[in-house]
Structure 1
Amino acid sequence: MSSTTTVTDATFDAEVLASETPVLVDFWAEWCGPCKMIAPVLDQIAAEQDGKLKIVKMDYDANPLTPGKYGVLGLPTLLLYKGGEVVEQITGAKPKRALLKAIEPHL
């Protein structure tokens, strides 16, 4: 059973861009209410899609380089990477069904 892990500016390339499986990156912040709302949903998806999808979290405030590089302005923003490229972007808190609808075509 997999759960979400944390990435930083320093570990992003190795954990996300070099990953063999698709990676959903959750850009979040401690002060962001909607970010806290979707965290349990992302944990559920990580467990259900174990082996097919990796979900990682990046603290927006502690890691300014990566969000800036990918144009992340609003939180929460979820970017789905496949083969080192962004293939899907989801902004704002969404229900589980909507998240899965956006993610599943890329798995």
Structure 2
Amino acid sequence: MAATTSKATRTLTDENFQREVEDAQQPVLVDVWAEWCGPCRLVGPVIDEVAEQFAGRAVVGKLDADANPQTAASLKVSALPTVLVYRDGEVIDRIIGVQSKDRYAGALQKALG
């Protein structure tokens, strides 16, 4: 399942999204997923690996779109999985569908500068 499995990966919710993502001092990668989404199950472990790789330098979190519909709607997510990369509270990259670990890590590295 795409649920959080890495200690380095944060669980994001409607309640904590602004604090954890929009107000973050570090770049943030957000994996928007759902339990029923087959491709999300492929991406989940890859996102956990990226979280471990960037631990201490960036925030990596997962948002269950079904459990947090308000935030998912505000992000204009139309397909799952969708990965968003934030810098200074703004989306700087939107990755839709299953991609390689290098694609996700590269987007986060770019956000670091």
Q: Which bracket does the TM-score occupy, shorter chain normalised?
A: over 0.9
Aligned 8 A contact 1:79 1:90 in 2: yes
- Any runs of at least 4 consecutive aligned residues in structure 1 with deviations exceeding 6 A, and if so which? none
Cα pair 2:82 2:94 within 8 Å, conserved: yes
Distance apart, 1:2 and its partner CA: 5.0
Matched residue of 2:92: which SS?
strand
User: What stretches of structure 1 of length at least 5 have no aligned partner?
Assistant: none
> Are 2:78 and 1:67 equivalent residues in the alignment?
no
Question: Residue 38 in 1 paired to residue 43 in 2?
Answer: yes
Q: Partner of 1:41: helix, strand, or coil?
A: helix
Equivalent in 27, 31, 51 of residue 32 of structure 2 = 27
- Choose which of 42, 45, 54 in structure 1 pairs with 2:59: 54
Deviation at 1:106, TM superposition (A): 1.1
Corresponding pairs, count: 107
CA contact (8 A) 1:2 1:50 kept: no
TM-score by length of 2: 0.88
Deviation at 1:66, TM superposition (A): 1.1
> Secondary structure in 1 aligned to 2:94?
strand
Listed as ranges, the gaps of 5+ residues in structure 2 are 1-5
Percent of aligned positions that are identical: 43
Q: Using structure 1 for the length normalisation, give the TM-score.
A: 0.93
